Amino acid sequence: MEKVLELINEDLQKVEEKFENRLSSRVPLITKVAKHLVMGGGKRFRPSLLLLSARLCGYRGEDHISLAGVVEFIHTATLLHDDVIDNAEVRRGSASANTLWGNEASVLVGDFLFSRSFAMMVEVGDLKILQTLASATTALAEGETMELVKTADLSITEEENMELIINKTAILISAAARIGAILGKAPLEVEEALANYGLQVGIAFQLVDDCLDYIGERETLGKEIGSDLKEGKITLPLIHTLRQCTAYEKKEIQEVVLGDEFSYDGLRKVLSFIDRYKGIEYTFAKAQRCIDEGKKSLWTLPPSPEREALFEMADYVVKRKV
């Protein structure tokens, strides 16, 4: 990601300083838990998109730093809540906050980060940006609830999975790209092009996440492998497999998903079916099409180092191992 870092390294440092300043609370437990996750080695994917998009649109102020902080705080708040929902033990290579401090503290510190992010966006005071972030966070909660409703439902369709992915992941990533355009007072076509780029890249991001949950390496990924299956999340590699497999194989998958005890033998069995029906290849191919589509929306913009860096970020999404 050299092109990306070359352009926004300095801004990213300022974003890190912003985190440090805005994480503090008069309640020491909040600062401790929030720092554990925010400073715990995230990829800063959403802030980077926002910073690049703002640069691409010629923005020259300082609000992009705060807003990059805002999107990362919102993302971190959702991870704190998500790890409680998913009973996750590991996040970013360390014990998750819920493992270290319990579910109650995780939910509350998530609430704190979420509220702090609202304070920060109000300080910027742009109504259109507030609207963008308000609808993105509503979508996040809706997407996560859709996922909850579909837990262990083997009849979930690819379309339903897509709707869920768009809401729980892609809309916030799209909002990050759109906010850069709003800051730079870009014409509506440019704003929409960047928002669509973010949406497509965001869909691909989650599709790759769902593949890595099956085929990633625990150490590199910094979280458990097989946790989607363990939690009854039926993601695209398995949806594709369920569409193709025999009734007997489907019954075997059902036993693993609905069984009381999760076992690595069960995971291995499901993986062998996913392998047989090329569920991972199918999902990666779909992610690649989204990446191509996202890059295509930027073709109408004049060539620039920022546009190149956004292409590089899109390519990174399908290449990443972490």
Q: Least distance from C-beta 233 to ligand FPP, angstroms?
A: 7
Q: Hey, what are 312's tokens?
A: 């590089």
Instruction: Identify the three-state secondary structure at position 90.
Output: strand
Q: Does 82 bind ligand FPP (CB under 6 A)?
A: yes
Closer by beta carbon to ligand FPP, 199 or else 301: 199
Q: Which of 36, 168, 178, 295 binds ligand FPP (CB under 6 A)?
A: 168
Residue 92: which of ligand FPP, Mg ion, none does it interact with, CB under 5 to 8 A by kind?
Answer: none
Left (φ > 0), alpha (ψ -120 to 50) or beta: where does 220 sit? alpha
Q: How far apart are alpha carbons 92 and 94 in whole angstroms?
A: 6
Q: How far apart are alpha carbons 78 and 90 in whole angstroms?
A: 15
Closer by beta carbon to ligand FPP, 42 or else 305: 42
Closer by beta carbon to ligand FPP, 63 or else 82: 82
Q: Does 117 bind ligand FPP (CB under 6 A)?
A: no
Instruction: Identify the three-state secondary structure at position 79.
Output: helix
Q: Does 72 bind Mg ion (CB under 5 A)?
A: no
Q: How far apart are alpha carbons 303 and 157 in whole angstroms?
A: 39
Q: Return the residues of window 81-140 that contact Mg ion according to CB under 5 A.
A: 82, 86
Q: Least distance from C-beta 77 to ligand FPP, angstroms?
A: 4
Q: Return the residues of window 175-214 that contact ligand FPP according to CB under 6 A.
A: 209
Q: Which of 76, 98, 169, 241 binds ligand FPP (CB under 6 A)?
A: 169
DSSP annotation string for 156-218: --HHHHHHHHIIIIIHHHHHHHHHHHHHTT--HHHHHHHHHHHHHHHHHHHHHHHHHHHHS-H
Nearest to 265 by CA among 252, 251, 247, 282: 252
Length of the chain: 322
The count of chain residues that interact with ligand FPP, using the rule CB under 6 A, is 16
Burial group, residue 26, by CB count within 10 angstroms (0-12, 13-18, 19+): exposed
Q: Does 86 bind ligand FPP (CB under 6 A)?
A: yes
Q: How far apart are alpha carbons 231 and 211 in whole angstroms?
A: 15
Q: Does 144 bind ligand FPP (CB under 6 A)?
A: yes
Q: Does 119 bind ligand FPP (CB under 6 A)?
A: no
Closer by beta carbon to ligand FPP, 141 or else 258: 141
Q: How far apart are alpha carbons 159 and 138 in whole angstroms?
A: 20
Q: Does 216 bind ligand FPP (CB under 6 A)?
A: no
303 secondary structure, DSSP code = P
Q: Does 140 bind ligand FPP (CB under 6 A)?
A: yes
Q: Which of 69, 110, 202, 216 binds ligand FPP (CB under 6 A)?
A: 110
Evaluate whether 236 touches 286 at the Cβ level (below 8 Å).
yes
Q: Return the residues of window 220-239 that contact ligand FPP according to CB under 6 A.
A: 223
Closer by beta carbon to Mg ion, 224 or else 308: 224
Place of tokens 């742009």: 126
Evaluate whether 317 touches 208 at the Cβ level (below 8 Å).
yes
The count of chain residues that interact with Mg ion, using the rule CB under 5 A, is 2
Using the rule CB under 6 A, give the single segment among 76-84, 122-130, 274-282, 302-310 that binds ligand FPP: 76-84
Closer by beta carbon to Mg ion, 82 or else 249: 82
For the chain, give percent helix, strand, coil, nearest 5: 75, 0, 20
Binding site for ligand FPP (CB under 6 A): 77-78, 81-82, 86, 88, 110, 114, 137, 140-141, 144, 168-169, 209, 223
